[in-house]
Structure 1
C-alpha cells in the first residue's frame, strides 16, 4: 500500500455520528440541571443560532441577536425543560429585568461550556463538517466553514486527582 495516497472519503457518516454524540453530552448536562439543578459553581454558557429552524425567542432578543446568541445558566433561570422527542430545550431567563422563555433546538447549538469543569464543545454551523473541542480560555464562537473532522481526547478536560 502506498502511504502517500490521500484518504478516501468515507461512505459512512462518521462526522455526523461524532457530532451527535458530542451534542448528546450537552443534552445530558441540561437534563441533569433540569432534574437536580447545578451543583457548586457549575454554570453553562450555551451559544446558539437564533435564525435556526425551531428557535423561539422574544422579538426584542431576535432583533438584538439576529444570528447568534449566548445565554448563561447559572443562578437566575427557571423552568428548564429538555424535550428529547422535540429535539429541544426551553428555559426562562431575565434580560434587563424582563423575563423571557426561550426554546432552542439541539441542532441550533454552536457551543456549550461549563467553565467550572473546564469543559467545552463547539458545534459546526450547518454548512461545516464536525464538532471540535472548545478551548476553555476562548469564548464560545461559531467555527469556521473549513473545519475538518478530528479525534477528540477528553483527557485534557478531566480534573487531575491528588
Structure 2
C-alpha cells in the first residue's frame, strides 16, 4: 500500500486559509490603503448564496469587487458573507472558500488562482460576453500566465 502526500490539496487549503485570514482582518479593521479585491467564484457551487437574478446573469462564474462600498462582511470557517452594491441595488452574497477560483489584490500585484484536475490546460481562452468589458482581474490573470518558470535544478550544485 503506497501513500502519497497530496501537495495540491494542502496548498489549496493553505491559500484558502490565507483568504480567510485577510477577510477576517478586513472585517475587524476595515480595508487599509489602496487594497481592494477581485474575487471570482463558481456561481453554481451548491453552497453559494446569491440573488436569483445574479445567478441567472452569471450561471458559471462571477467576479465581484470589494473596494469602495461593501457591508456586513462576516467570515466563518467555510466561507464569507458580504453585501455588495449592484447598480444601486445592495445584494447579500455568501461565498464558500471552495467556490473561489481567483482572489486578486491588484494594489500590491497579489493573486491566487485555484485550479482543479478537470479544468482546461494552461493557455485556454475563456469566452467573454461581447457586451461586457474586460476587468482588471481578467487582465491581471493574463499577466500571471506570462510569468517565468524557474527550474530548481538551476540552483543545485
Q: Same fold by TM-score, threshold 0.5 exceeded?
A: yes
- 2:58 paired residue number: 65
Q: Secondary structure at the match of 1:124?
A: coil
43-52 vs 21-30, which moves further: 21-30
CA distance in 1, matches of 2:92, 2:141: 22
- Paired residue for 1:19? 12
- 2:109 equivalent to 1:114: no
- Partner residue of 2:47? 54
- 2:23 counterpart (30, 34, 59): 30
1:84-95 matches, cutoff 5 A: 84=77, 87-95=78-86
Displacement of 1:115 = 0.8
Greater share of helix:
2
Q: 1:99 aligns with which of 90, 115, 140?
A: 90
CA RMSD of aligned residues (A): 2.4
Contact 1:55 1:104 in 2 (8 A): yes
Tell me what 1:45 maps to. 38
Per-residue CA shift, 1:108-152, capped at 9, x if unaligned?
A: 000001111110000114735xxxxxxx883458xxxxxxxx99x
Measured in 1, the distance between the counterparts of 2:20 and 2:65 equals: 15
What pairs with 1:127-138 in structure 2 (closer than 5 Å)? 127-128=118-119, 138=139
State the Cα distance separating 1:21 from its structure 2 match.
0.7
TM-score of the superposed pair, with normalisation by structure 1: 0.71
Give the secondary structure class of the aligned counterpart of 1:80. strand
Give the number of equivalent residue pairs.
Answer: 126
